[in-house]
Chains A and B, each alone.
Chain A
Amino acid sequence: MDKNSSIYKTVLLGVVCAVAGVLLAVVNSITAPVIAENEIAAVKQNLIAIYPDVSDFKDISEDALKDEETGLVDAVYQAGDKGYIFSCHNVGYTADGFTFLIGYNNDGTVSGYTVLSQKETAGKGSLAFEGDYVAEVMTLTAEDDMPLISGATITTKAVGEAVKAAQAVFATLQ
């Protein structure tokens, strides 16, 4: 068949796309379930880390976030009868932003503060998710503002903003 005829070209393009499509569908069917599992496992692991004794975590995001306007709270989990965990995100110094979990017991004390992902400047903004700062946050309540770190004010302000949004949702759940 003449290589330069339109029919040949269309058929070749079609075959290449079809092969690509089939190959991708196969790989997708292998990897998609693994990906879904990973995501559930990752979230559950973090929730259990905050409330190790709770076995039933309920995702109550749809109802709890109905009136949430800032968009900074992504999910709300009810930890049995002990409290709630909020998954929040915001953008700090780097464009990619960060996500974290903050948990409040029913009495308003902080039950946990864990970072899920962050790409803030190492040694500056990243301190908002490390040792000393985490320890300080654990002593706060749902009424307190998040402390600022000098030299990392942009990041900590952003964290504070997201936490305030979570606290507002917590107040409606009380």
Chain B
Amino acid sequence: MSEIKPKKRGFISKMITDNPVFGLYLGICSTLAISTSLDNAIGMGISVIFVLVLSNVVISLIAPITPDDIHIPVYIVVIASLVTILEMFLHAFTPDLYSALGAFISLIVVNCIILGRAEAYACSHNIVDSAKDGLMMGLSYTFSLIAISLVRQILGTGVITLSNPFAGNAVVFSVQVLPKTFLIPFMTAETGSFFTFGVLAAAVSGYKNKLEEEEKAIEKAQKAAAAKAKAEAARKEVA
């Protein structure tokens, strides 16, 4: 009897559909604001990963001893402390990144992804799983940021640059990808941010729809095969 199994989805596929930004629309404010360049995207991404992993770990440790009705303020204090520490380190050791990210560093504390994961996952899982979850979500977020930044930077300025924030923004490499005649200037402005996000969100949505349709088709085929098998078995019994 042949069985029609659903296709196994790879890592990249999962990263696209379970993406906190494009899938759940969490952490949109910072995504739209920071995605102006590759440097900012990477800097912000790593900052969020730092806070997310540590907050998940700490919260998974104190959740068992925290009564339900004060859990929100407690989690908030934990996350806010981590963000303040991050902010102080960034201000001291990577001042260029600090001024590029600006107010959005403190706003990591209200990034829905962090409190969301704390509530949905970290409070009910052990340290290692929580840390892994934080890392995965953080990486997804970072990849979404990088995706949007690359589109905006390439179409808006035609150049991809990478700088080292620890060495006073020394340029690591700078590549002119698109000649000046093909640039779309407003891509670096707010409008470009919204448009890029909308188009990428539609792409993810379309991809998810396609997966859904494939799954439905497979389900239908499975049901038909099962029904057929049942009918055959019934016929065999009668015979």
The chain A residues found within 8 Å of chain B, CB to CB, are 3-4, 8-9, 12-13, 16-17, 20, 23-24, 27-28, 30-32, 34-35, 38, 42, 96, 117, 121-124
Contacts and interface: CB of A to CB of B under 8 A. Distances in A.
A16 B81 CA distance: 10
A48 to B, nearest CB: 15
Nearest to A33: B92
Chain A contact residues: helix, strand, loop or mixed: helix
Interface of B: 62, 65-67, 69-70, 73-74, 77-78, 80-81, 84-85, 88-89, 91-93, 95, 99, 102, 156-157, 183, 185, 188-189
Contact of B99 (A3, A20, A117, A121): A117
Contact of A35 (B81, B91, B102): B91
A122 B89 contact: no
B32 to A, nearest CB: 14
B85 A123 contact: no
Contacts of A34: 92-93
A13 B99 contact: no
A12 B66 contact: yes
A23 B73 contact: no
Contacts of B91: 31, 35
A122 B70 contact: no
Contact of A38 (B62, B89, B95): B95
B183 A123 contact: yes
A136 B41 CA distance: 35
A24 B91 CA distance: 14
A12 B66 CA distance: 8
A38 B77 contact: no
Interface centre among A23, A31, A96 (most CB of B within 10 A): A31
Given A16-B77, A24-B81, A117-B99, A31 B156 contact: no
Contact of B65 (A3, A117, A121): A3
A126 B233 CA distance: 76
Contacts of A4: 67
Contacts of A31: 88-89, 91-93
B70 A9 contact: yes
A138 B145 CA distance: 40
Contacts of B62: 16
A3 B81 contact: no
A17 B89 CA distance: 20
Contacts of B185: 121-124
B85 A24 contact: yes
